[in-house]
Amino acid sequence: MKNFTSVHDIKNIKGILSKALAIKQDPFSNKSLGQNKTLGLVFLNPSLRTRLSSQQAGWNLGMHVQVLNAGQDAWTWEFSEGTVMDGSTTEHVKEAARVLSRYCDVIGIRAFPLLQDREEDYSEPVLSAFLKYATVPVVSLESATRHPLQSFADLITIEQTWKEARPPKVVLTWAPHTKALPHCVANSFSEWMIKADVDFSIANPIGYDLSPEFVQDTPVYHDQMEALKDADYVYVKNWSSFEQYGTMPPVEKDWMLGEDFLLKNPSARIMHCLPVRRNLELGDALLDSNNQLVYEQAANRTLAMQTVLSELLSPTL
Ligand code: CP
């Protein structure tokens, strides 16, 4: 694995899951792997989990960790090629990525989409520039279209909690929100579930179908309760429209899952990547129940990053 930007960088899903579960047994067993190596974490957008879990993962491997809040603290970056930089941008990403590569052995980068131009966002301008100009491995800390570390942590969470022989029924369901949100978590979760040994489907209102590239042959339901029938894992997430890009078409029914759902589906496990808007995306009754896995998912973010860093520093798969 040269970089980690999507599930497609993983050749052996079962192998990387086993590696993660072995690291979980003894997270400090490899403190010399990252000795004298530096992990650089570059954030163009806010974060709680990704920032702290990535730092923790680096420290668990003995790495030095540097964090650059590029959205606030760095020079404003130019991404277009051959441009006359006589506007508001101060430094070209060519220099930024190459200089960061002199300080760091691995670079993590977070850059959300702007949700204004679909083609532009789906071309991954920031991540692509780092992949092009950095001279060290690049890890996506969430890009315009994907959140692979979150999805890896989600898969670990399902693997750890599923004890039956049959594949679990996993449903990704849209939930309400006040703002237009990116597709990254949903796209990425779909992509990982398609590769995993699960029975996967998606529920979303009309107007909110995800990109066909990420859905592939996955069954998509526009009736939430039909989709959620007998679900073992319910992954709750909001996203804006892909078709009417970045907008929020009106939704007729109430898609927020509350106590009623839990009463009718007492064994369903509830997942969300966090941050979550309580009683808008998901009811208190679910988030405060024993059915929720959200804290385990958050804990597994460290494990996902530690596994990815281990594989980048010393490949075994
Ligand atoms: N789930 C997730 O990526 O959380 P943060 O945005 O806080 O990093």
CB count in 10 Å sphere of residue 46: 13
Give the whole-angstrom CA distance, residue 306 versus residue 58: 7
Cα–ligand 1 centroid distance for 112 (angstroms): 12
The answer to whether the bond into 275 is cis (omega within 30° of 0) is yes
Q: What's the pLDDT band for 119 if we cut at 50, 70, 90?
A: very high
- The answer to whether residues 137 and 171 belong to one domain is no
pLDDT at 283: 97
Residue with token string 């950095």: 134
Substitution site in 41, 42, 50, 239 for ligand 1 pocket (most atoms within 8 Å of beta carbon): 50
Burial label, 11 (beta-carbon count in 10 A; 0-12, 13-18, 19+): exposed
Residue 11 lies in a domain: yes
- The answer to whether residues 291 and 303 belong to one domain is no
Residue 83 lies in a domain: yes
- The answer to whether residues 190 and 169 belong to one domain is yes
Substitution site in 45, 49, 187 for ligand 1 pocket (most atoms within 8 Å of beta carbon): 49
- The answer to whether residues 192 and 71 belong to one domain is no
Residue 229 lies in a domain: yes
Going by the DSSP 8-state scheme, the letter that residue 40 receives in this structure is: E
Q: Which CATH number is 113's domain given?
A: 3.40.50.1370
C-alpha 23 chain-centroid distance? 20
- The answer to whether residues 29 and 131 belong to one domain is yes
Cα–ligand 1 centroid distance for 27 (angstroms): 21
Cα–ligand 1 centroid distance for 150 (angstroms): 8
Give the whole-angstrom CA distance, residue 30 versus residue 175: 40
User: What one-letter code names the amino acid at 303?
Assistant: L
- The answer to whether residues 89 and 223 belong to one domain is no
Residue 181 lies in a domain: yes
Residue 124 lies in a domain: yes
> Is 90 exceeded by the pLDDT of residue 72?
no
C-alpha 227 chain-centroid distance? 23
Residue 282 lies in a domain: yes
> Is 90 exceeded by the pLDDT of residue 178?
yes
Output the ligand 1 site: residues, CB below 6 A: 47-50, 142, 150, 273-275
- The answer to whether residues 103 and 163 belong to one domain is no
Q: Does 56 belong to an annotated binding site?
A: no
- The answer to whether residues 43 and 20 belong to one domain is yes
> Is 90 exceeded by the pLDDT of residue 71?
no
Average the pLDDT over 195-206 and give the result. 98
Give the whole-angstrom CA distance, residue 199 versus residue 202: 11
The pair of structure tokens assigned to 35 is 């000795």
Cα–ligand 1 centroid distance for 223 (angstroms): 28
Closest listed residue to residue 37, CA positions, set 5, 68, 59, 67: 59
Which domain range does residue 111 map to? 7-147+298-313
Span 82-96, pLDDT tens digits: 999 999 999 999 999
- The answer to whether residues 113 and 227 belong to one domain is no
Q: Which residue CA neighbors atom 6 of ligand 1 most closely?
A: 47
**Structural domain count of the chain:** 2
Let me know: does 256 contact 276? Beta carbons within 8 Å: no
Residue 113 lies in a domain: yes
User: What one-letter code names the amino acid at 300?
Assistant: N
- The answer to whether residues 165 and 180 belong to one domain is yes
Residues 6 or more apart whose Cβ sits within 8 Å of residue 213 = none
> Is 90 exceeded by the pLDDT of residue 115?
yes
Closest listed residue to residue 271, CA positions, set 152, 171, 140: 171
Span 39-67, pLDDT tens digits: 999 999 999 999 999 999 999 999 999 99
Substitution site in 48, 143, 295 for ligand 1 pocket (most atoms within 8 Å of beta carbon): 48
Give the whole-angstrom CA distance, residue 144 versus residue 19: 28
C-alpha 288 chain-centroid distance? 23
Residue 2 lies in a domain: no
Closest listed residue to residue 38, CA positions, set 107, 133, 94: 107
- The answer to whether residues 291 and 302 belong to one domain is no
Let me know: does 188 contact 146? Beta carbons within 8 Å: yes
- The answer to whether residues 30 and 67 belong to one domain is yes
